[in-house]
A and B are shown apart, each in its own frame.
Chain A
Amino acid sequence: MRKAKLLLASVAAILVATPVLADVSVKIGVMNDRSGTYADLSGEGSVVAARMAVEDFGAADKGIDVTIVSADHQNKPDIASNLARQWYDAEGVDVIADVPTSSAALAVNDITREKNKIFLVSGAATSDLTGKSCSPNTVHWTYDTWSLAHGTGQAMVETGGDSWFFLTADYAFGHALERDTSEVVKDSGGEVLGAVRHPFPGQDFSSFLLQAQASGAKVIGLANAGADTTNAIKQAREFGITQGGQSLAGLLIFITDVHALGLDTAQGLVLTEAFYWDLNDQTRDWAQRFAEAHNGSMPTMVHAGVYASVLHYLKAVEAADSKDAEAVMAKMKEMPSEDPLFGTGEVRQDGRHVHDMYLFQVKSPDESKGEWDYYKTLAIIAAERAFRPLGEGECPLVQ
């Protein structure tokens, strides 16, 4: 049977001038938040991005038949694991993409390894995915807590923000972000004056902000995400904290958050991201196409990551001439990645994709020339410095 197929394929290859694969059909499942806090930064936009990757790759011409399905994991690990299991077992999904929310991504990570499929993480933050929970079946593309903490933490200390106070969401993700950033601050010669843990999700942060203000720290680090971060920023402005000379460092902020806050409130904020639509001609072109397909919203770095990871995956399928997880993963790690959004990069042994990261500052309303013109680049963090060194992650795959 298999031999016959191979034979057929080679006959076909000889008949047609361009090399065509024996028809491979892949099913990509985009799993993310479609109704909750992260729906805007991932959500339908990630599906749009995945679809664009399939088109740009020209899958149909290359004999790869791609289907994309999507589902809402509501940011809950139980729903995510349930969906992943069902997709792999019953619906023939080969690869799951995106999956924001660290707890959900860790759940999908486990199941993907158990079922020997492929997991392309873009939305999730935890650096454990390429650290102690690393898996031979996972590629973590866009960013992680380590890179955010290091990007923002180091840059702030270097520009004089050497005393910190943390406003931390009281759950594992917030704790991890606080811990990682504290280390960076201390290593760079700064000091941490204190931290306050707020309930998650929170609504009113004034009391915690007042404690942060009283600490006299130069930088207030927001170790939280989503609505918690935007609320805290809004209220910090109201209570005159930024006007009082303290600066805010958002440790996990996306362009959609800035969009929701408005420049008036968000101006001056320093943050680290992996992608911004207005970096160069290629990103601008791509973002324009994305916006046309997605109600005029500009892409976030998560959307960019979904696009680039799916593109790289499809290239690997083409190169491996199969969708077998082991073969494709080997190709993904062996071939350098090349796409219009992240430029060239590579997938490391532990599954980490490395590329440049950017330190941005949010523009003031005067500096902004129009809708979605939000960031100015403070620094480019080179790929080799942007992510945790391979040896330090305690990943069992790294010898």
Chain B
Amino acid sequence: MAADIETLDKQSATKAGAAGMPRLHQVIFAALLALALAAPFMLYPVFVMKVLCFVLFACAFNLLLGFGGLLSFGHAAYFGSASYVAAHAAKVWGLTPELAILCGTAAAAALGFVFGGLAIRRAGIYFAMVTLAFAQMVYFFALQAPFTGGEDGIQAVPRGDLLGIISLRSDLTLYFFVLAIVFTGLLLIYRIVHSPFGQVLKAIRDNEPRAVSLGYRVNRYKLAIFVLSATLAGLAGSTKALVFQLASLTDVHWTMSGEVVLMTLLGGMGTVFGPIVGAAAIVTMQNYLAGFGAWVTVIQGTIFVIGVLLFREGIVGVLSRWLKKSL
């Protein structure tokens, strides 16, 4: 099954050729964009923005897991710390939203560089455990540090004026700003995956010794993808802080790391569109099932179990097999 997808990958990669993106993917991206443009007029905009932020987070995570083959069990660290830094920048330093987001993203990148540099020296389950250990330390820091506000988090973060001119107070204005960020992020991820760099990554994922023997400096590639993934997760986290005007411990807790794995797994890891579907499905579910209390955890757990036992390829993975097209 993994092999199937791999060959499909190659086919689509060759078919795409110089044009960059295969027709099918262009159509899907266009459809998604159209959907996203129409969504705030039919659904509650803040909810759709939440979906968008998690879509970006899950795609960033998938970059590492699906294409780099590295399972991080501590991605909340980058998402959450970026969200704290962005909130602090906007509230205390009074920066404009785009600069606050930039600060948060840069913080996540720096953190990713340090942690990633240490973690990529280990593989498999040990890698997962090291990332978890680092994430726990970040959580501890967020709980203790004076500027994070402990369990209150940083509240009432101003949305501010974009470039100092356009007020983002209205949900709709903010929505299009967020959409622009997320869509750019998604295209960037797509570009990374389908670049020569992405091809080397897949080679490393599928057979590391072979990649080494071909002369690739494997660790540099791994570090690069780790930092990229952490950075984009940070972008998602910073954006979320502005949308909800809040950065809190939830963003750095290990259950957040588990949730993003769930989203990616449900949608289909290693696929382009899987995490988008997975994130949208999970966030929607959490939103509409909130009234059921503890049943939400039961349902999430059931999805995990069914997903692992029956649909390891995830929703999009299964679709992709039916359609015999890489998605």
A and B touch in the complex (CB under 8 A): yes
Q: How far is the CB of A321 from chain B (nearest CB, A)?
A: 31
Contact status A72-B291, CB under 8 Å: yes
Measured between beta carbons, the chain B residues less than 8 angstroms from A98 are none
- CB interface residues, A 139-193, toward B, < 8 Å: 170-173, 175
Measured between beta carbons, the chain A residues less than 8 angstroms from B155 are 77, 81, 103, 106-107, 110
Measured between beta carbons, the chain A residues less than 8 angstroms from B290 are 71-72, 79, 83
B156 contact from A69, A110, A171, A175, Cβ within 8 A = A110
Measured between beta carbons, the chain A residues less than 8 angstroms from B156 are 110
Contact status B244-A81, CB under 8 Å: yes
Contact status A81-B44, CB under 8 Å: no
Using A70-B291, A82-B50, A89-B46 as known contacts, say yes or no to A171 and B151 having CB atoms under 8 A apart: yes
In the complex, A102 has a CB within 8 A of chain B: yes
In the complex, A85 has a CB within 8 A of chain B: yes
A76 contact from B46, B250, B287, Cβ within 8 A = B250
Measured between beta carbons, the chain A residues less than 8 angstroms from B144 are 170
Interface of B: prevailing SS? helix
- CB interface residues, A 88-107, toward B, < 8 Å: 89-90, 102-103, 106-107
> Please, how many angstroms separate the alpha-carbon atoms of A107 and B293 in the complex?
20
Measured between beta carbons, the chain B residues less than 8 angstroms from A107 are 155, 246
Contact status A81-B246, CB under 8 Å: yes
Q: How far is the CB of A199 from chain B (nearest CB, A)?
A: 9
Interface size on A, residues (CB 8 A): 29
In the complex, A367 has a CB within 8 A of chain B: no
B293 contact from A34, A82, A172, A173, Cβ within 8 A = A34
B150 contact from A39, A81, A172, Cβ within 8 A = A172
Contact status A78-B248, CB under 8 Å: yes
Measured between beta carbons, the chain B residues less than 8 angstroms from A39 are 293
Among the interface residues B149, B151, B155, B171, which one has the most CB atoms of the partner chain A within 10 A? B151
In the complex, B143 has a CB within 8 A of chain A: yes
> Please, how many angstroms separate the alpha-carbon atoms of A305 and B254 in the complex?
35
Query: Which partner residue on chain B sits nearest A103 by CB separation?
Result: B152
Interface size on B, residues (CB 8 A): 28
Contact status A82-B244, CB under 8 Å: yes
Q: How far is the CB of B33 from chain A (nearest CB, A)?
A: 24
> Please, how many angstroms separate the alpha-carbon atoms of A76 and B247 in the complex?
11
Contact status B44-A103, CB under 8 Å: no
B151 contact from A79, A83, A173, Cβ within 8 A = A173
Contact status A103-B244, CB under 8 Å: no
Q: How far is the CB of B158 from chain A (nearest CB, A)?
A: 11
In the complex, B251 has a CB within 8 A of chain A: yes
Query: Which partner residue on chain A sits nearest B245 by CB separation?
Result: A81
Using A76-B250, A106-B155 as known contacts, say yes or no to A35 and B294 having CB atoms under 8 A apart: yes
- With A103-B151, A110-B155, A170-B144 known, 6 other A-B pairs at CB within 8 A are A35-B293, A35-B297, A69-B291, A72-B296, A86-B47, A172-B152
- CB interface residues, B 27-57, toward A, < 8 Å: 44, 46-47, 50
Q: How far is the CB of A370 from chain B (nearest CB, A)?
A: 30
Q: How far is the CB of A86 from chain B (nearest CB, A)?
A: 6
Contact status B46-A86, CB under 8 Å: yes
Using A72-B293, A78-B251 as known contacts, say yes or no to A85 and B46 having CB atoms under 8 A apart: yes
> Please, how many angstroms separate the alpha-carbon atoms of A104 and B149 in the complex?
13
> Please, how many angstroms separate the alpha-carbon atoms of A86 and B50 in the complex?
12
Contact status B246-A170, CB under 8 Å: no
Contact status A86-B245, CB under 8 Å: no
**CB<8 Å pairs between A and B, sample of 5:** A39-B293, A78-B251, A81-B155, A82-B46, A200-B143
